[in-house]
Structure 1
Amino acid sequence: MSKNVKTIKELADELGTNKTRISRIINKNSIPTQKIKNKIVLEDNSVSLIRQYFKNETVSILRTELDKAHSHIEKLSNLLDQQQRLALQDKKLLEEYKAEINDLKALKMPSQDTKEEQANSQPQEELETLKEQIRALNDKIKGQEQLNNQVSKKWYQFWK
């Protein structure tokens, strides 16, 4: 074979593809071929046409892949944005919950002033209760003494 022709196999190896793909490109684009010794060969102009088609196809594939990657990056960017918004929302809710818990703790636990007032008021209340009990007992004692005096007078008067 002369130097200006290549077989489909040689061209496929050079372009890093298989013979079937080169054959499809030839049939699809009606590229002229020759048959020498039961082998299909391509002249330089046919080889350059296939190379050009292969480059265009590769560029087209790369553009498609680039577009897919771009849309994928856009989706990931949107997801990241959503995640950040949700994280910020969670942080705000957590701060609100903490503030609410602190408010509830403040309501539940009396302050130092309230504790002192309670400590001071408890003995006062106990003192008042004890005073009432003493008064009641004194009244009973007086009532008992009056009864005793009345009984004594009655007996005393009886003997007189």
Structure 2
Amino acid sequence: MSENLKTIRELAEELGVSKQRIQQIIAKLSTSKMPNKEGNKYILNHKDVHNIKVLMGIENDKSSTSKTENRVVDYDVYLDILESMKEKDGQIKSLLEVQKQTQILLDQQQQLALQDKKMLAEYKSEIKALKSLNSPTQDIKRADILPKETTEDNRQESPQKKHKKWWPFGR
């Protein structure tokens, strides 16, 4: 590679750390400081190497940058923080909307359950009222009908029962 561009392996060998450690440091970098990728490999320029070294604590942030670059970096950091805060605010707003909708649905469900309970109690009371109205008349009718039928049946069947026997050989 050229003098200015390095891979993760080359930087790891130079610093005496593992490639995984360099990858962890890159993952911690802000989006504005992320190095470029060509294919599956990171290509690190001088600024990327500096950012990684600063995050590792090897270089001081102010030692190799001028005041104007440092201000730009600080400005980028503030922009990144503001951007992440806006994203978080958006997420919080969407979660609050979901919470409100869930609360509304829960309230509706509870109201429906209460209505069902009231209707069930009304139906039970109506059924009891209907049973109390129907049961005395049915009992009276059965009492009137059953004794008459049984006495009439007994009168008609009694002469026939005396003559009929269940065995045929006894006559």
TM-score by length of 1: 0.50
- Structure number with the higher helix fraction is 1
TM-score by length of 2: 0.47
